[in-house]
Amino acid sequence: MPRRASAADRLFALLLHLLPHHLLSKGMYWLARWEWRPFKDAMIRGFIRLYRVDVSEASEPDAGAYPCFNAFFTRALRPAARPFAVDDYTLACPADGSISQIGAIEAGRIFQAKGHRFSVRELLGGDAALAAAFEAGAFVTVYLSPRDYHRVHMPLAGRLTEMTHVPGRLFSVSPSTTRTIPRLFSRNERIVSLFDTPAGPMALVMVGAIFVASMDTVWAGPVTPASRRSTHWHYVETPPEESVALDRGEEMGRFNMGSTVILLFPKGGIEWRESLGPGRSVRMGEALGRITNSRGQAQ
């Protein structure tokens, strides 16, 4: 049974409503990049102890070798640390974390937690035509905790067609706030990347959170426009030499501090693994499902 919001959950949500999200996140941005050795070493080692981070998986296991905390937080892994699922018809998990929710998009809405849903249209920045492409489709929400690997990789090979930065709040996206704050993921700042893939259109949404002062993509770097309106970039008519095509497993972006990734697929595009469900821990590269053909049969 889904866990109900507790009194502590509601109190935490109230506190979050009162905090200056963006001011705190800007402060964390500078602290995380401060290269004064005594400070950054203490911050990194304290973080490792607090969250029991397995540094042996990192390509650089020496915590003192990182120039600042953010470099450690967005650390690369050893190539063998995250083997990818075996074939191109397998949908691979884009990040380390745990599944918040997984399932079908119903009546244009996505299940967040007991008593809470949000619309695909709102999540994607208000684009009705784009939202229609995912009507009766499939979604998965993956929550990245502070201890997790924070680079995001392609679950399928894809060609970038559109990117949208949607400004918003920076509520925490922990399980506690997911249970208590309505429409959490469609209220927070986010980057929506749309790809053309073998499963049809795929929306990969990187959702910001408190202390996430910026989100990066490999083609645009940090995506933090100052405008309070949504900002769109279109890549359909980009010259071939400038187009963005990423292979399955390639890095597509990263969070500077932790957050959430949401994947959307059209109707009949994906068949989820039956063993997956809310609360299930997952690792980047792990199989989440299979690409299906137009008749809905697994490839």
- Catalytically active residues, by annotation: 96, 153, 259
3-state class of 65 per DSSP? helix
> How far is it, in rounded angstroms, from Cα 92 to Cα 217?
19
Q: Tokens for 213, please give them.
A: 């002062």
Q: Tell me the residue length of the chain.
A: 299
Note whether 157 and 246 are within 8 A (CB): yes
215's CB contacts (< 8 A; 6+ apart) are 191, 206, 208, 222, 223, 224, 253, 254, 255, 256, 259
Comparing C-alpha atoms, which of 178, 174, 184, 186 is closest to residue 147?
Answer: 174
Residues in a beta bridge with 292: 298
Contact in structure between 159 and 173 (CB atoms under 8 Å): no
